[in-house]
Amino acid sequence: MGDLHTELQESLDEAEWNWLIPHAQRDAVIVVSDTLNLVDVGFAIASDRIHEVNLWIDEALISKPSHEQLGEWNLNREKRFNTLIIQPYVLIQEK
């Protein structure tokens, strides 16, 4: 099996909010602060680095979308995000 970090880097993509709505409806979207590297967060989640992930949650650097964010994005469905799928989650980062 290849290097997970490299595989995740190659899996980075962009998506419009409109494409992400079904994932948000099943509560699978995680918003990642732009102060963090999306691949590093995905790697930590995929590698069960619980301490690191909990630290980011405690510092509100990763979270579920707020009602305000969802409302804003639903008004601008063409808004684009960097995305990374870490089953069953879709990590998103505003562009």
% of the chain with per-residue pLDDT over 70: 98
Residue 95's nearest CA partner among 83, 86, 77, 84 is 83
What confidence tier does 46 reach under pLDDT thresholds 50, 70, 90?
A: very high
Mean pLDDT on 45-68: 97
Q: What is the mean pLDDT of the chain?
A: 95
Sequence-ordered list of residues with C-beta below 8 angstroms from that of 72, at least 6 positions apart, any chain: none
- Give first-to-last CA distance, the chain, whole Å: 31
Longest dimension (CA), the chain: 42
> What confidence category does residue 1 fall into, taking pLDDT thresholds of 50, 70 and 90?
very low
What is the pLDDT averaged over residues 40-69? Answer: 97
Q: What is the pTM of this model?
A: 0.93
